[in-house]
Structure 1
Amino acid sequence: MRILLYRGDGQIEPWARDFAAALPHAETVAWEEGASTPWGPYDYAVLWSPCPALLDTLAQVKAVFLMGAGVDAILKFGDLLPPVPLIRLGDAGMAEQMAEYVAHAVLRYYRRFDEHEQQARQGIWRPLPPRDKSAFTVGVLGMGKLGMPVLRTLRQLGFPVRGWSRTPKDAPGVDCYAGMAALDDFLAGTRVLVSMLPLTPQTNNLLDRARLARLPQGAYLINVARGAQVAEPDLLALIRAGHLAGATLDVFRNEPLPAPHPFWGEPRISITPHIAALTIREEAVRQIAAKIALLERGETVADLVDRNRGY
């Protein structure tokens, strides 16, 4: 068995080492653009953020495994992408991290820690009154493998929670909304909005000025999905106009976030460098190796990407 490995950031050596240990009977080959990489055929490809030069090679494999839960970095090639099965990671330790990140961001705004931090920088000692948790509804866009653990965590913390999904879902203790026709009502009752949707043509710029303005006065945005879902100039304008209280952003349309970007200078926007849920390499390798074993036995695997839906 031959397995092709590729990462757009070049950080492939640890993955090659772990795959060699997990699949000692397989030959793992690190593919590098422009390098004298041994040519195929390959049985499987494991990659992240592929380059166009790799596409022809992918046509030879039985399946392509992705080193993360997101699929937009490969689906962007559209019809140029060979019609082979695409398999994303399941949880692989990301759900717990995502729940921790979102819970921290929600609590920071709810408990007014952001305001107390600002006062402390000015040398001001002034306790701020507590907020009413019963009126502090948190809405999560996306009720999938990462969205549901976030909703459960927030519910355990005592927040009223609501979830929105493309198709109807049912979850205990969650006020559920589905479909574009229900999106405005979902937003209108949401004090903190958490975006966890995959990036598709339908979700690109989903949170533009009109939709962000549907949020109540003083609402807050947390984006841990993809930066392209938010119209960044619209978000900034609504924060500076006082309609939105601020935002915690882990993802951006262009990453790394460029130095002159106005988000850097806006104190009501908290920025982290796409770290809300990092892939745990050891768990990812174990998961991919197990799925390869299933495929080799002719069995089906979970987390197959639906190209029509975009995730």
Structure 2
Amino acid sequence: MAVLLSTKAHTMQDWKAALLAVDPALDVRLFPDVGDIAEIEAAVVWTAHDMMELRRYPNLRVIVSMGAGVDHLFRPPGPPPGVPVARLLDMRLTQGMTEWVLLNVLRFHRQDPEYRDQQARKVWHELPAPETSARRIGMLGLGELGADATRALMALGFPVMGWSRRPKTMAGVETFHGQDGLMAMAARSDMLVCLLPLTPETRGVIDARLLGAMKPGGYLLNSARGGHMVGADVLAALDSGHLAGAALDVFEPEPLPADSAFWTHPKVILTPHAASITIPSSAAPQVVENIHRARAGQALINLVDFSAGY
């Protein structure tokens, strides 16, 4: 029985090598060179793979998504009925996301855009020192990624609040939930960081109403999914000055069209969905473990709950 691997072309060989390093006996086939479809028992895929294609494989036992987000799996027609799906929760993937959050929180907190502007204009001027304990951060999402980033921010002395769709508790964090809680947290936030899973309930959550509830001169960081943002509302908040800046790693659609105003907006720090990239050598053991579990009829690690959306 064989494993189908489908991801970005330039990483395909790295992923194959990482999987074989864990289990040299695996028969790994690189899409589209599938061979006999009846021999495919596991599919390790990323966002561009067509779910309809997977419905052709009669003996498919498991699908592993090569990242923490699984919204791509919900696109019609969705994965084959009855085939379990696992996602990746990898230490280095989580660490990479936390690094991106820290980088951009500190970038704005320590007035780096202002100092870079002064440098370009050859202005020697000391700005007032920022006070970390007074910079209140609202974290949208307290899952694996949001919780890790929250702990790192708190270790630096930032007061962090957290919002989730359902009630959650976290030591040292004031938590909110539901629509009323969302607005209440935004009203007290100097920065909003979005690390939510994308579901029908969270699509478009970063809109004019949410941004308008924030303190004037706040900052937005989004490295979750582009579908969380209403792009026109974010741009309007930046143009009006209500938002002082934004660090954005994700957009809808992707790649970001060349004529998008986000590319050249002076208040936007933009990266191409690269906040945290899955490292094959780190993630491969978990992928192979789930393949072995599926073969043995055992419960999967990080099984996707389709009723919850992640």
Give TM-score, length-normalised by structure 1: 0.94
* Deviates most, 127-136 or 100-109: 127-136
Q: Counterpart in 2 of 1:84?
A: 83
Which stretch shows the higher mean deviation, 227-236 or 283-292? Answer: 283-292
8 Å contact from structure 2 (residues 250, 272) kept in 1: yes
Contact 1:91–1:146 (CA under 8 A) maintained in structure 2 = no
Report 1:3-14 matches (<5 A). Answer: 3-7=3-7, 9=9, 11-14=11-14
Quote the residue 1:118 is aligned against: 117
Partner of 1:175: 174
Higher deviation after alignment, 104-113 or 79-88? 79-88
Task: Please tell me whether the aligned partners of residues 134 and 159 of structure 1 are also in contact (alpha carbons under 8 angstroms).
Answer: yes
Which residue is 2:282 aligned to? 283
More deviation, 46-55/198-207: 46-55
Equivalent residue for 1:226? Answer: 225
Q: Which amino acid aligns with 1:26?
A: L
Distance 1:79 1:272, change over 3 A: closer
Bigger mean CA offset, 121-130 vs 57-66? 57-66
Count of aligned positions: 309
* Post-superposition offset of 1:36: 6.8
The code of the aligned residue for 1:4 comes to L
Alignment of 1:190-205 (within 5 A): 190-205=189-204
In structure 2, what is the equivalent of residue 43 of structure 1? Answer: 41
SS of the equivalent of 1:169 reads coil
Q: Give the distance between the partners of 1:292 and 1:68, measured in 2 at CA.
A: 16
Structure 2 residue aligned with 1:30: 30
Structure 1 residue 249 displacement after superposition? 0.5
SS of residue matched to 1:44: strand
Alignment-mate amino acid for residue 178 of structure 2: G
Q: CA deviation at 1:206?
A: 1.0
Amino acid aligned to 2:28: T
Residue 199 of structure 1 and its aligned partner are, at CA, apart by 1.0
Structure 1 stretches lacking a partner, 5+ long: none
Q: Secondary structure at the match of 1:222?
A: strand
Q: Is the CA contact 2:38–2:57 (under 8 Å) kept in the aligned structure 1? A: no
Aligned equivalents of 2:56, 2:245: Cα separation in 1: 45
8 Å Cα contact 1:94-1:279 kept in structure 2:
yes
The letter for the 2-side match of 1:251 is V
Greater shift, 293-302 or 245-254, is seen at 293-302
Match of 1:236 in 2: 235
Rounded Cα–Cα distance in structure 1 between residues aligned with 2:147 and 2:57: 33
Query: Counterparts of 1:90-129 in structure 2 under 5 Å?
Result: 90-129=89-128
SS of the residue aligned with 1:264? coil
1:80: Cα distance to partner? 6.3
Is the partner of 2:101 in helix, strand or coil?
A: helix
% same residue: 37
Root-mean-square deviation over aligned CA pairs: 1.8
Q: Which secondary structure state, in structure 2, belongs to the residue aligned with residue 228 of structure 1? A: helix
- Return the TM-score normalized by structure 2: 0.94
Q: Which has the larger displacement, 148-157 or 278-287? A: 278-287
Contact 1:59–1:83 at 8 Å: present in 2 too? no
Alpha-carbon separation, structure 2, partners of 1:256 and 1:201: 22
Superposed displacement of residue 176, structure 1: 0.8
Contact kept in structure 1, 2:222 and 2:249, CA below 8 Å: yes
Distance in 2 between residues matched to 1:193 and 1:264, nearest whole Å? 21
